[in-house]
């Protein structure tokens, strides 16, 4: 079954907008696990506009499921944090400085030598390493050549096309997922997955290991409550929809 990791960055954004510690991101990390999430994801950025580096340290001590820290590994501060906390998984994302949100995957061919070096650093510390990739079999293959344990497919293009042509939307992701499976890579996915498009995506790629969802899930929680929303997403993840291609 595909695991659901909840990204709690947006909780920190809300806290930071007012100052103080309401909502408390550490309590939220505890609660999302209690409500059924299979993991907690955070994505600290250099300006700490949402999750702060101290948040990462505080959250690390309360994780009972899996802790996934994602971010730009070209920032030494990020690398040092991950090596200090040793989460279950680190996801390498090629963010530019000041970027609003992640909007592209690594070119794993152009940056092959760099990725080999940094992946080796994390793996030597016993940390499973995932590379954020666009849905391109060549990029997936490059991640495998660099030594990655998993790839995370960047799903914004799927979400944008889903309403008008769900089959065309999912095809490049299915092709990339098949390549990942052929190469023995674990498979994650994330970005703009929601209650409307998640079930179809999951059904088309039934060997998907994990999705990491933040923005849409937190928005839905405003209406449905956090506990109920996590259960809604978990039901969508493992609901048979359409035809799944092997």
- Structure token pair of residue 65: 């499921």
- Structure token pair of residue 57: 């340290």
Catalytic residues: 43, 70, 191
DSSP 173: H
Residue among 105, 74, 127 at smallest CA distance from 180: 105
Q: Could you tell me if 134 and 154 are in contact, meaning their C-beta atoms sit under 8 angstroms apart?
A: yes
User: Whole-angstrom distance between the N-terminal and C-terminal Cα of the chain?
Assistant: 16
Q: DSSP letter string over 27-70?
A: HHHHHHHHTT-SEEEE---TT-SSS-HHHHHHHHTT-SS-EEEE
Number of H helices, E strands in the chain: 11, 8
The runs of H, that is alpha helices, within the chain are: 9-18, 25-34, 53-60, 76-85, 112-124, 137-145, 156-162, 166-183, 198-204, 215-224, 226-237
DSSP 95: P
């Amino acid at each position: 079954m595909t695991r659901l990791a909840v990204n709690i960055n947006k909780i920190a954004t809300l806290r930071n907008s007012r100052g103080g510690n309401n909502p408390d991101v550490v309590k939220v990390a505890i609660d999302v696990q209690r409500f059924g999430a299979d993991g907690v994801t955070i994505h600290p950025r250099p300006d700490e506009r949402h999750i702060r580096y101290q948040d990462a340290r505080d959250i690390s001590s309360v994780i009972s499921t899996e802790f996934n820290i994602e971010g730009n590994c070209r920032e030494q501060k990020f690398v040092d944090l991950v090596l200090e906390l040793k989460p279950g998984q680190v996801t390498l994302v090629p963010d530019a400085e000041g970027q609003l949100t992640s909007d592209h995957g690594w070119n794993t061919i152009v940056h092959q030598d760099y990725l080999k070096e940094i992946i080796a650093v994390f793996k030597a510390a016993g940390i499973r390493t995932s590379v954020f990739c666009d849905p391109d079999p060549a990029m997936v293959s490059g991640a495998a050549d660099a030594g990655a344990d998993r790839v995370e497919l960047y799903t914004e293009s799927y979400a944008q096309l889903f309403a008008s042509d769900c089959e065309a939307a999912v095809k490049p992701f299915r092709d990339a997922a098949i390549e990942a499976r052929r190469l023995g890579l674990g498979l994650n996915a994330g970005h703009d997955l929601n209650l409307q498009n998640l079930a179809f995506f999951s059904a088309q790629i039934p060997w998907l290991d994990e999705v990491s969802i933040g923005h849409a899930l937190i928005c839905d929680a405003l209406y449905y409550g956090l506990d109920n929303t996590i259960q809604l997403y978990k039901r969508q993840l493992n609901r048979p929809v359409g035809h799944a291609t092997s």
